[in-house]
Amino acid sequence: MRGTRIEQLYDGHAPSLFAYLLNFTRNENDTRDVLQEIFVKIAREPELLKNVLNERAFLIRLAHNAAIDLIRRRDTRERTRENVAAETITVFAPAGDPDEEVFRQQLSAALVELPEEQRAVVHLKLWEEMTFEAIAETLGISPNTAASRYRYGLDKLRERLRPLYKEITNANE
């Protein structure tokens, strides 16, 4: 791997990996650690990407597995304490419009309440625009499972954000 190759990989995929990891871990330090772990791994073993057709999907799989390992390593008590802080960490860019900002904060908090497996699928579907087949391959599940997790997750978000969503929609009309 040439010196610029790792930079190309970072510039091409780090923004997506960052958002995915932040949504998953809800902790900036953990996100940085996992992101660093991925790029160090790729730099150390460049042959990992040799026969990979979809680099993004491959890197997200690495990120997902590393994040799962990290979450499992955490102490339960530590996790409970961090869950409180997690609601304040937003995964979305700040909005100029106050209504939009409230919606983003509420959406970010609603995502935290989803089980991790549903959150992962919802993220990949909505913000990575992946098909259920691609999500299934990335996460090592069946396409049907990916689709059902997405529907369950989306229903929970809909339920949680319904009042705010209606309010904003009515105000815009």
Q: Identify whether the C-beta of residue 104 lies closer than 8 Å to the C-beta of residue 92.
A: yes
Q: Identify whether the C-beta of residue 42 lies closer than 8 Å to the C-beta of residue 6.
A: yes
CB closer to another protein, 86 vs 161? 161
CB closer to another protein, 107 vs 112? 107
The two tokens of residue 7 are: 């930079």
Site string for another protein, 50-89 (x = CB under 8 A): ----------------------------------------
**Is there binding between residue 7 and another protein (CB under 8 A)?**
yes
| Cα angle: 31, vertex 33, 35; to 5 degrees | 65
Q: Which position among 30, 58, 132, 134 is part of the footprint of another protein (CB under 8 A)?
A: 132
**C-alpha neighbours within 13 Å on the C-beta side of residue 112:** 22
Distance separating alpha carbons of residues 19 and 127, to the nearest angstrom: 9
Q: Which position among 54, 88, 131, 142 is part of the footprint of another protein (CB under 8 A)?
A: 131
Q: Interacting stretch for another protein, rule CB under 8 A, among 65-73, 79-87, 137-145, 155-163?
A: 155-163
